[in-house]
Amino acid sequence: MIAFGPVPSRRLGKSLGINNIPDKVCSYACVYCQIGRTIRMEVKRKTFYNPELILKEAKEKLEKARAKGEHVDYITFVPDGEPTLDINLRKETELLKELGTPLAILTNSSLIWREDVREDLLEFDFVSLKLDAVSEQLWRKIDRPHKSLKLNEILNGMLEFRKEFKGKLVTETMLINGVDYGDEFEKISKFLKKLEPDIAYIAIPTRPPAERWVKPASEETINRAFQIFAEALGSDRVEYLIGYEGNAFVFTGNVEEDLLSITAVHPMREDAVEDFLKKANADWSVVEKLLKEEKIIELEYEGRKFYMRKLKSRNL
């Protein structure tokens, strides 16, 4: 199940997800990752799935959503790992463009120092770049990158990409508790001024993270980051990504298949699952069955229950 959704997105409206990387192959092992811990650290690009299969699944999901009167704003690469590790990314975007829906990608930016990755990203209409830190020590503490990666190369790659990219570029900075940010926000804001993103998002974890100690940053910290970023970019170009995206998950035909494909990438809150089951004319026994079969697991975060597909990355 490579294509999933459509799901509600705080950045992108209704998004049809593309899960082009298996659980969980990544160049980072971020402490806050909602997928869980990284199983295989990689920086080498390779083939994961046949591009034709990705097109076939996306087309089927899109047709089912449209048949139910659902509008899809973006087809979004948001997988169980880092999407730019996929060496067939260019071929996949070429095929998906046939569907006539704008393309988006959420990347951790780790491979943007590579010219071939920058060229692949130019094919998208919307690119979100992770920017959790511009200082080596904090970057290593929060994002826990592959040992071969160099932060200065990544930051320079982002600036190079910006020179050529004509679509919508946003950054995303995740803020967590228990971190001494010191003057990091001032340093990030200087970089943002050079990068000139359309929007700089300030985010906090809203779903169960990889490491149990991770909690959202305090309101005071979030507000301080906002004020400093806004001074550099203007307040109209800095936004919070801290609210709940809502429960507008789309049912496309098979309730179990839909739940498993969505929760493989996107842990669902209990109330979202309840709403989803109503749309599918199903009841909670579906969830009980999947829990019993150990296909999904129940997690708790910040006083709320979440349901997620049982992945190896959650068992480490």
Which pairing describes strands 168-174 and 199-203: parallel, antiparallel, or unpaired? parallel
Q: Report whether pLDDT(313) > 60.
A: no
From its phi and psi, is residue 187 left (phi > 0), alpha (psi between -120 and 50) or beta? alpha
Nearest Cα to 231, choosing from 198, 192, 182?
192
**Pairwise CA distance, residues 148 & 114, whole Å:** 13
Model pLDDT, residue 265: 57
138-157: pLDDT as tens digits:
999 999 999 999 999 999 99
CA distances (Å), origin 24, targets 41, 43, 116, 152, 245 = 9, 13, 23, 25, 24
Question: For the chain, which domains are there?
Answer: 3-241 (3.20.20.70)
Stronger pLDDT, 69 or 109, i.e. the higher one: 109
In this structure, the chain runs to a length of: 316
Mean pLDDT of the chain: 88
